[in-house]
Structure 1
Amino acid sequence: MTTTTKTAITVETTVQAPVAKVWEYWNQPEHIKQWAFASDDWHVPASENDLRTGGKFSTTMAAKDGSFSFDFGGVYTQVKEHKLIEYTLGDERKVSILFSSIGDATKIVETFEAEDTHSVEMQQSGWQAILDNFKKYTEAN
């Protein structure tokens, strides 16, 4: 039996907002629609989130010009309010997000297993861009 170890990629940021606000903006569909894309020519027309162990989530990411869209979703394997979210994507890759309160700020460290289609650098850049968009949206609102 062969076991394939997937490459783990980590992205992180510190958001100038308390962990309770960061948690809400990260998990509420009305907020997810405002930040879960890597560039301004994309948007999120639909988002559903059942934030609990065993719950499912789905976010539709789409090009604003209508040329392409895809669903990003999975099942939560562990949820610890204001601290940790772990989930498995539809293609069985695992993702872990740590939230750490640092005074009035919140550090987010997101680690995910790479897929085989795109380079590690491209995946890290894309996920970091989404995380940076989250930081910008959360700090501005």
Structure 2
Amino acid sequence: METANRITVSTTVNRPVDKVWESWNKPEHITQWSHASAEWHAPYAENDLRKDGKFKTTMAARDGSFSFDFEGVYTTVRDHELIEYIIGDGRKVKISFISEGDTTRIIEVFDAEQQNSIEMQQGGWQAILDNFKNYTERSF
């Protein structure tokens, strides 16, 4: 599925790229940051980080009312530099990791879906990225 709209979110994490990469990709870390708000959490994650490898993160409301699996297949993996994947619904995601010494810039570009507004999607993905930044800076 190709969409006309691509959305970009970004942040700078005050940690070197090797620590950022570890936090981004190890399941024990993914479950600590992969949620958009305090009402949500990620009780499960698996990650086979290689071309054609699969990943899955379960995102769930803390009150137990709803959950879903965010999953896909990697199309490109370049250690400490680039991850590209296709989500289960066919949308594409590209994540660049730019080493800037003791900091790492992350730029995430993804195809928009059709059900929610661009602003809502950008806000949700940015919130998850902000959680990642906060968790990684606290933990490493």
Q: State the TM-score bracket (shorter-chain normalisation).
A: over 0.9
Pairs within 5 Å for 1:5-16: 5-16=3-14
Partner of 1:106: 104
| Structure 1: distance between partners of 2:78 and 2:2 | 29
Q: Structure 1, residues 7-57: CA drift from partner, whole Å, max 9, x if none? A: 000000000000000000000000000000001111111100000000000
Deviation at 1:4, TM superposition (A): 5.3
Distance 2:72 2:46 in 1: 11
CA distance in 1 between counterparts of 2:43 and 2:103 reads 29
Residue pairs, 1:1-141, within 5 angstroms: 5-141=3-139
Residues 1:4 and 1:99: Cα distance change in structure 2 (over 3 Å): closer
TM-score, length-scaled by structure 2: 0.97
TM-score, normalised to structure 1, is 0.97
Structure 1 residues without counterparts, runs of 5 or longer: none
Instruction: State the Cα distance separating 1:129 from its structure 2 match.
Output: 0.2
- For the aligned residues, what is the CA RMSD? 1.0
Structure 1 runs, 4 residues or longer, greater than 4 Å off: none
Q: Which runs of 5+ in 2 are unaligned?
A: none
**Aligned AA (1:63):** A
Aligned-partner SS, 1:117: coil
Contact 2:9 2:109 in 1 (8 A): yes
Measure the CA separation in 1 of the matches of 2:2 and 2:18. 37
| Number of equivalenced pairs | 139
